Structure 1
Amino acid sequence: MPESSDAVPDSSDVTPEPSSAVPAPRRRVLPLFLAAVAVAWVVDQVTKVLAVERLADRDEPIRLLPDVLELTFLRNPGAAFGMGASMTVVLSIVSVVVCVVVVRMAARLRDRVWTVGLVLLLAGALGNLTDRILREPGPFRGHVVDFIDYGGFFVGNVADIYLTVAAVLVVVRTWQGVGLDGARTDPKERA
Structure 2
Amino acid sequence: MSDASEHRAEAPPGSQRRALVPLLLLGVAAAVFAADQLVKNWVVDHLVEGQTVPVWGEFLRWHFVRNPGAAFSFATGSTWIFTILAAVVVIVILWQIRRLKSVPWGLFLGLLLGGVLGNLTDRLTREPGFPQGHVIDFISTPWMWLGFPEAIYNIADIAIVSGMLLFVAISLLGVHIDGRPRERSGEPEIAETSPGEDSRGAA
Pair in the same fold by TM > 0.5: yes
1:113 partnered with 2:104: yes
Aligned equivalent of 2:157, options 155, 160, 163? 160
Residues 1:27 and 1:63: Cα distance change in structure 2 (over 3 Å): same
Distance apart, 1:29 and its partner CA: 4.0
The equivalent of 1:16 in structure 2 is: none
1:42 partnered with 2:34: yes
Contact 1:179 1:185 in 2 (8 A): yes
* Unaligned residue ranges in structure 2 (runs of 5+): 1-14, 143-148, 186-203
Listed one character per residue, the Cα deviations across residues 74-109 of structure 1 (whole Å, up to 9, x for unaligned) are: 100001342222211110000000001111112222
- Give the TM-score normalised by the residue count of structure 1: 0.78
Residues 1:86 and 1:138: Cα distance change in structure 2 (over 3 Å): same
User: What SS does the corresponding residue of 2:66 show, helix, strand or coil?
Assistant: strand
Distance 1:175 1:24 in 2: 26
Write the letter of the residue equivalent to 1:110: K
Write the letter of the residue equivalent to 2:48: A
User: What SS does the corresponding residue of 1:78 show, helix, strand or coil?
Assistant: coil
Write the letter of the residue equivalent to 1:159: A
Aligned equivalent of 1:177, options 150, 174, 177? 174
| Sequence identity (%) | 36
Distance 1:66 1:75 in 2: 23
The equivalent of 2:141 in structure 1 is: 150
Write the letter of the residue equivalent to 1:176: L
Contact 2:50 2:65 in 1 (8 A): no
User: What SS does the corresponding residue of 1:62 show, helix, strand or coil?
Assistant: strand
- The number of residue pairs the alignment matches comes to 166
Distance 2:45 2:37 in 1: 12
Aligned equivalent of 1:91, options 63, 78, 82? 82
| Aligned-pair Cα RMSD in Å | 2.2
Write the letter of the residue equivalent to 1:94: L
Aligned equivalent of 2:113, options 108, 118, 122? 122
Alignment of 1:15-34 (within 5 A): 28-34=20-26
- Give the TM-score normalised by the residue count of structure 2: 0.74
Distance 1:178 1:29 in 2: 14
